[in-house]
Chain A
Amino acid sequence: MISVESYKRPETIAEALKLLKTGKFGIIAGGTDVIPQMRHTPARSLLDIGKLGLDFVRENDNTVEIGAAATHSQIQNNPLIQRFLPLLSTACGLVGSWQIRNRGTIGGNIVNASPCADSAPALLIYDTKVVLLSSQGRRSVNLSEFIKKPYLTVLTAKDLVHSFVCQKGDDSAGNSFIKLGRRQAVNISRMTIAVSLVRDDSNKITMAKIAVGSVFPTPTRISELENKLIGQIVSKELFDETADLAADLMIKASGVRWSTPYKKPVLIGLMRRALVGASGIKEIPA
Chain B
Amino acid sequence: MIIKFKLNGKNVAIEAPGGERLIDLLRERLNLVGTKEGCGKGECGACTVLLDNKPVCSCLILAAQVNGRNVMTIEGVESDARLRAVQEAFVEAGSVQCGFCTPGMILSAAALLRANPKPSRDEIKRALSGNLCRCTGYEKIFDAVELASHKIMKKAASK
Contacts and interface: CB of A to CB of B under 8 A. Distances in A.
Interface stretch (A97-105, A233-241, A245-253, A267-275): A97-105
Interface in A1-56: 1-4, 6-7, 9, 28, 30-32, 35-36, 38-39, 43, 46, 48, 50
Interface stretch (B5-13, B50-58, B139-147, B149-157): B50-58
Interface stretch (B38-46, B71-79, B81-89, B94-102): B38-46
Contacts of A6: 18
A144 to B, nearest CB: 29
A121 B139 CA distance: 35
Contacts of A7: 1, 17-19, 62, 64
Contacts of B45: 97, 99
A39 B39 CA distance: 12
Contacts of B54: 73, 98, 102
Interface in A94-136: 96-100, 102-103
Interface in A209-260: none
B108 A31 contact: no
B48 interface: yes
Interface string B79-122: 00000000000000000000000000000100100000000000
Nearest to A5: B18
A185 interface: yes
Contacts of B43: 186
B60 interface: yes
Interface of B: 1, 17-21, 24, 40-43, 45, 48, 51, 54-57, 59-62, 64-65, 67, 108, 111, 125-127, 129-131
The 10 closest A-B pairs by CB, nearest first: A97-B130, A7-B18, A185-B129, A4-B19, A36-B41, A99-B130, A2-B19, A102-B54, A99-B57, A4-B18
Interface of A: 1-4, 6-7, 9, 28, 30-32, 35-36, 38-39, 43, 46, 48, 50, 73, 96-100, 102-103, 184-186
